[in-house]
Copies of this chain bind each other. A is one copy, B any other.
Amino acid sequence: MKIVIIGSGNVAYHLAKAFTQGGIPVAQIFGRNEKDLKVISNELQIPFSTSEIADADFYIIAVKDDSIADVSKLITKTNCLVAHTSGSLEKEKLNGNYRKACFYPLQTFSKTKDLVYSEIPFFLEAENEADFNLMNSIAQKISKKVLNSNFEQRKYIHLTAVFACNFTNHLFAKAKEISDSQEIPFEYFLPLIKETVDKIYKIEPKLAQTGPAFRGDEKIIESHEKLIKDKDAKAIYKTMNISIKDMYKNEL
């Protein structure tokens, strides 16, 4: 069973690392960016190529969504399984005469940040049971949480992740702009942020809400709005407050 990972970005790197750690040999990593491939290849002792895709039974295309269709055409073999790793695309976006699948890890990946792979949920979709079982046995060597999930469900998973992860990180970035503007070290806010997340392991987020909008404290809201100079921060402040008030308006 030969596996090739295509891509040299964050997802490709972490999948290659998780496979290697899980005792699943990766025959090759293939991509365009020779510099990045070399770094991954050196760290994980996996051969790489920028010119010729190795023959394999299972190809995982871990490139950005916009490139998946084009990259998938590079695989001309037909008797093989090809999966992309996107939460938001059908497996049919893959453009070739092979069996198509999706191998979607629900996590945010940075090369500089180690991850506990066993906690990452993998959402898998295949054309037939044999392919699903193959991917399932691979994913289960990495993670405790492997699930069957169709495209419709996967789209909502990705959308939920955008709210829970991408937008959350952006709030941190905007928060840091505010504290930076007053030369207040952002590290003072890390225990608060950590607690905000620790809480939702125990309390449903809807029940854990605090803050001026939740309390309906209009004086504080008004004084905050005067402090905010940045147009986008102001729009976020207003939009989030409206949404918080709406969520609890029938309960007060």
Chain A residues in contact with chain B, CB under 8 A? 10, 64-66, 88, 106-110, 112-113, 115-116, 119-121, 145, 147, 153, 155-176, 178-179, 181-182, 184, 188-206, 208-215, 217, 219-220, 223-224, 227-228, 231-233, 235-237, 239-240, 242-244, 246-247
In the assembled complex, 28 residue pairs joining A and B whose CB atoms fall closer than 8 Å, in A order, are A65-B219, A65-B220, A88-B220, A88-B223, A108-B196, A112-B203, A113-B195, A113-B199, A155-B227, A159-B227, A160-B176, A161-B189, A162-B211, A163-B172, A163-B236, A163-B237, A165-B193, A165-B210, A166-B212, A166-B214, A167-B211, A172-B200, A173-B204, A173-B206, A190-B201, A193-B200, A231-B246, A236-B243
In the complex, the chain B residue whose C-beta lies closest to that of A201 is: B190
Is B197's CB under 8 angstroms from A113's CB?
no
Is A197's CB under 8 angstroms from B199's CB?
no
4 new A-B pairs (CB below 8 Å) besides A164-B175, A173-B209?
A: A160-B178, A168-B197, A194-B197, A235-B242
Known: A167-B240, A169-B200, A194-B197. A228 touches B112 (CB 8 A): no
A105 to B252 Cα, complex, angstroms? 26
Known: A176-B205, A209-B169, A232-B243. A106 touches B189 (CB 8 A): yes
A196 to B168 Cα, complex, angstroms? 8
A43 to chain B, nearest CB (A): 18
Is B161's CB under 8 angstroms from A192's CB?
yes
A84 to chain B, nearest CB (A): 13
A193 to B119 Cα, complex, angstroms? 12
| Set B66, B116, B147, B202: member contacting A112, Cβ < 8 A | B202
In the bound complex, residues from chain B placing their C-beta under 8 Å from that of A203 are 110, 112-113
Is B192's CB under 8 angstroms from A236's CB?
no
Identical chains bound together, number: 2
Is B164's CB under 8 angstroms from A192's CB?
yes
A151 to chain B, nearest CB (A): 11
A53 to B171 Cα, complex, angstroms? 42
Is B232's CB under 8 angstroms from A242's CB?
yes
Known: A159-B228, A195-B115, A232-B246. A153 touches B166 (CB 8 A): no
| Set B112, B145, B164, B189: member contacting A172, Cβ < 8 A | B164
| Set B106, B204, B211, B242: member contacting A176, Cβ < 8 A | B204
A233 to B242 Cα, complex, angstroms? 11
